[in-house]
Structure 1
Amino acid sequence: MSLFKSSNPVLGDKVLDKDYIMVSEGNMTVSGAINKTLIFLAILMASAFGGYSLMLSGQFPLGAMYAGIFIAIGLAFFAYFKPQYVMYIGGAYCVVEGAVVGGLSAFYSFLFPGIILQAVVLTGAVLAGMLFLYQARIIKVTQKFRSVLIMATAGIAIFYFIALILGMFGVTIPLLHSNGPLGIGFSLVVTVIAALNLLLDFDFIEKGASKGLPKHMEWYGAFGLIITLVWLYLEILRLLSKLRD
């Protein structure tokens, strides 16, 4: 209920009561979240094509790439605190992040022809595989599983953020870019963690629908799924590049 509280007396709890929102807005559904995920994905892919084209034509400067990354991170944090506006925040995120992903994809494609198609196919295969594991309850999302996975993801995020800052000053972390056994092993572990995060996204969407969350939470669930898919794709892309190097 804390999501719907306001210090404005006009927007008090009686006005923003959950039951009132359900009547006027409707309830979250799994199919609705899937549809909104497809909308975000379409925006992301269109923007990625633009970023890909700009990078190939030499019109995507490195500064713009870094700016896009920080803007995308900022939008993701903003969406966490303002889930009711995720429809707009998520759209903006897909435009910005799509351009960055497209630019990075063009860079990898130049070095390793055909790698983009491989990464896309593998990302889709992992998505389908994790969905099967979740629906068959082969892997159950328990509280302990969720806590451990969130801690691991947070650790990776901090590591990547430090690497990003250092990279702006020309300092590289060997573990992140090495194509040796240690570097490949690191990328493989991170890819597995990214794939397991899909289970958390599926669990949120399913439980949100069963608990009757407001309709706008479909956008929130879709947004979380898109962020995980982008992360998974980039990790697969990095792993493939190390294996082919």
Structure 2
Amino acid sequence: MSNPVFNNSDIFGDPRKRGRQRGGTAVQPGQAAGYGAAGAQTLDAASLDQMYGAPSATTAQTGRLTYDDVIVKTGGLLALLVVVAAATWQLAPGLWIFGMIVGLVLGLVNAFKKNPSPALITAYVVAEGVFLGGISYAFQNATVAGESAQPIVMQAVLATFAVFGTALFLFRSGRVRVTPKFTRFLIIGLVGYLAFSVLNLVLAFVLPNSGMFGPLRGGFVGIAVGLLAVGLASMSLILDFDSIKRGVEQGVPAKFAWSAAFGLIVTLVWLYLELLRIFAILRGD
């Protein structure tokens, strides 16, 4: 693969007309005609061989997306999420409703933006941190008659990282591949789950003791729905990994590392909430 420095150079011209050879074969003087005396031609050929032998420019040097970019952005945003959540837990857990609304709005805005906005993505993570800190506090401190409080928040956090690690292993090992069939199944599952969630929410407001605040929130149905959601979130993670892989391979601009990190954070938040709800049901809430 030719160095882009030479492709964009007026000196070396069209690469299809150079006819130069790489490796141990020397460039003949006639091939460098037009650049001065024979001695200068020999020097140019030697310099050219040396430059060809230099390492190719990395994706980081050319401003293209790398896995390191995605890891750094995701790790930074995840750390910010945890810090804000911990602060909300300690200082103002009642702000979780505010965080939920703001996070929903910013999530939609970021999802439909063609170019990522680091400021808006960071603001989304802060809002989600407020939401998760407050809602986790509420789940953890919910009273259960006759039972001692179990650390369901820590259990949900550990389970989230376990599912994330498992999904990453299955994707990297090739045991699970993103195929058209895989994508269709995931889309159908997500649409069905969204329809169920909307219906559940409507029932909560229309009929007393129904919907997500009634019988459907717990028991066998609640656990089954939660496990289905965890499965869909895991498949979404694998799809996220595949999208990042294709972005790196296609050499998209490095700024889209923010989009990749945003997508991973959205999926991880959803996965954590579903696991937290399952552990709460198992505890007897």
TM-score computed with the length of structure 1 as normaliser: 0.80
Name the amino acid aligned to 2:79: A
Find the partner of 2:259 among 213, 220, 223: 220
Deviation at 1:77, TM superposition (A): 1.7
**Which residue of structure 1 lines up, in the alignment, with residue 127 of structure 2?**
96
Matched, 1:117 2:157: no
**Which residue of structure 2 lines up, in the alignment, with residue 177 of structure 1?**
217
Change beyond 3 A, Cα 1:176–1:50 = farther
Name the amino acid aligned to 1:65: W
Helix, strand or coil at the partner of 2:117: helix
Q: Are the counterparts in 2 of residues 54 and 103 from structure 1 also a CA contact under 8 Å?
A: no
Find the partner of 1:66 among 76, 97, 116: 97
| Structure 2: runs of 5+ lacking an equivalent | 1-58, 143-148
Change beyond 3 A, Cα 1:132–1:175 = farther
CA distance in 1, matches of 2:168, 2:60: 31
Matches within 5 A, 1:27-46: 27-46=64-83
Change beyond 3 A, Cα 1:239–1:145 = same
Q: Whose relative contact order is higher, 1 or 2, with alpha carbons under 8 Å and at least 6 apart? A: 1
Listed one character per residue, the Cα deviations across residues 116-141 of structure 1 (whole Å, up to 9, x for unaligned) are 11111111111111110000111111
Deviation at 1:80, TM superposition (A): 2.1
CA distance in 1, matches of 2:254, 2:91: 37
Listed one character per residue, the Cα deviations across residues 163-188 of structure 1 (whole Å, up to 9, x for unaligned) are 4566578764146412x222211111
Worse overlay, 136-145 or 76-85: 76-85
Name the amino acid aligned to 1:241: A
Q: Are the counterparts in 1 of residues 60 and 66 from structure 2 also a CA contact under 8 Å?
A: no
Name the amino acid aligned to 2:178: V
Deviation at 1:208, TM superposition (A): 0.6
More helix by share: 1
Q: Are the counterparts in 1 of residues 116 and 256 from structure 2 also a CA contact under 8 Å?
A: no
Change beyond 3 A, Cα 1:155–1:53 = farther
Helix, strand or coil at the partner of 1:138: coil
Matched, 1:144 2:181: yes
Q: Are the counterparts in 1 of residues 98 and 131 from structure 2 also a CA contact under 8 Å?
A: no
Name the amino acid aligned to 1:40: L
Count of residues in Structure 1 that have an aligned counterpart in Structure 2: 217
Helix, strand or coil at the partner of 1:84: coil
Deviation at 1:219, TM superposition (A): 0.6
Name the amino acid aligned to 1:226: I
**Which residue of structure 2 lines up, in the alignment, with residue 153 of structure 1?**
190
CA distance in 2, matches of 1:167, 1:89: 32
**Which residue of structure 2 lines up, in the alignment, with residue 198 of structure 1?**
237
CA distance in 1, matches of 2:198, 2:166: 29
| Structure 1: runs of 5+ lacking an equivalent | 1-21
**Which residue of structure 1 lines up, in the alignment, with residue 163 of structure 2?**
126
Deviation at 1:70, TM superposition (A): 2.7
Matched, 1:242 2:281: yes
**Which residue of structure 2 lines up, in the alignment, with residue 8 of structure 1?**
none
Name the amino acid aligned to 1:98: G
CA distance in 1, matches of 2:280, 2:231: 16
Q: Are the counterparts in 2 of residues 27 and 213 from structure 1 also a CA contact under 8 Å?
A: yes
CA distance in 1, matches of 2:198, 2:99: 14
Larger radius of gyration: 2
CA distance in 2, matches of 1:66, 1:35: 29
Q: Are the counterparts in 1 of residues 96 and 133 from structure 2 also a CA contact under 8 Å?
A: no
